[in-house]
Amino acid sequence: MADIHSSDGDALLGVYDLRRSPDRLEAAVARPDAGNQRELDAVKAIIADVRDRGDAALLELTKRFDGVDLGSAAALTAGAGELESAWQGLGADLRTALESAARRVRAYHAVPAGGHRYDDDAIEVTERTIPVARAGVYVPGGRADYPSTVLMTVIPAQAAGVGSIALCVPPRSDGTLPPTVAAAAHLLGVTEVHKVGGAQAIAALAYGTASIARADVVVGPGNAYVALAKAEVSRDVGVEALAGPSECVIVADGGAPAAAVAADLMAQAEHGPGGFTVLVTWSDDLAAAVVDVLAAMVDRSPRAPEIRSTFDAGGRLVLCRDATHAIEVANAAAAEHLQLMVADPAPLVAQVTNAGAVFSGYDTPVALGDYVAGPSHVLPTGGTARFASALRPADFLKSVHVVTASRDGLERMGPVAAAIARAEGLSAHALSIDVRLDR
């Protein structure tokens, strides 16, 4: 390895000749150390402080780190007058440049989904969608076997065109794979299945071991330890929504069949500890009927211990004013599964903003989505349905845009970019355009 030096001898660039040393690839692409444990601890402390004290913490931290005493929480947010004044304070040329840039950026992002080319005769932008090279899939086990999860995780990866897929599955007590899970892997042509479970499986898929090559994306549901592990490794590998213990919110009217409501609550509770199962209704009669039916059903269930453990910690019955109020509750919960067990679900569906998946009507149990509806049953949990979605092929794809400017395009748009660069104090950015315009 050699270095390129400046005139004063300081090393500017480390050069890795991979023709001679192909084994140095990892070192060549390694990122600089992003921080040590002390800094990580400090970041965690800041996050905890903001979560605990809100604006008071923001004000104190702003004073400590930025040297600015804002005085009150109201000053944390810039007012419209401050923004307008800043805009008017810019020179006319810079305002024009920003407006022109904004039009281009807006036009590109306004291309409908599926559009992959934008060309305004100045700069052409095309978009390539590329699957990741390798996906790691986690299939939980222990309390139950989940061949359905093999289908719901592997098929989206295959649909995306991923060439290498590794499964991690907790082994049975005798060291073998659960037969149904192994069979599902065979059905899909997956040949790499590892007998590893829990957080250690996530770590192996994220960072690699002698036995398991590291993946680019790690997906799959699991218990709280699995979800926490995925969150921890998400700095270094792609993850889908953090799919932890199962959740279900059921919004039901007085006409909902009590037995079906009770069975649906049990269906999610039987996954075991850590789950979240909630009935939201404005019917006292239905609530009473469900409580009665549920008690008898749980007593007869072969998975009664798991169901009771879930209900003990996460089972809820929420009584509300009406259907509109019920949807407010459901949106606040942002649960993995939302069932609308009402006579006319369509108006309520239109009001749902936060849910991993919605199951509409008396005859649409979550179990259909678990197995046969089509979308993946790997869904966001823990309230992350506020911003996350079901696992899908897009989770295994990345988009790379290719920008090509004609000479005319450079002459038309280059000065716009250079003006903004100079306003930001980035003279080399502007120079990289100017030297071409002066050519």
Strand ranges (E), 232-366: 238-239, 247-252, 276-281, 315-319, 337-341, 357-360
Measured distance CA(309)–CA(275) in Å, rounded: 9
Residues 6+ apart with CB under 8 A from 420: 94, 97, 98, 101
SS3 label, residue 238: strand
- Tell me, yes or no, if 240 is annotated catalytic: no
- Is residue 61 within 8 A of residue 47, CB to CB? The reply is no
Q: How far is CA 135 from CA 158, 233, 388, in A?
A: 10, 14, 19
User: Smallest Cα–Cα separation from 241: which of 377, 371, 381?
Assistant: 381
- CA–CA–CA angle 257, 246, 304 (5° rounding): 65
The neighbouring-strand residues paired with 194 are 168
The neighbouring-strand residues paired with 119 are 124
For the chain, the helix, strand and coil percentages under 3-state DSSP, each to the nearest 5 = 45, 15, 35
Of 336, 401, 424, 429, which one is the catalytic site residue? 336
- Tell me, yes or no, if 337 is annotated catalytic: yes
Pair type for strands 217-219 and 397-405 = unpaired
Of 116, 337, 401, 424, which one is the catalytic site residue? 337
SS3 label, residue 249: strand
Residues tagged active-site: 336-337
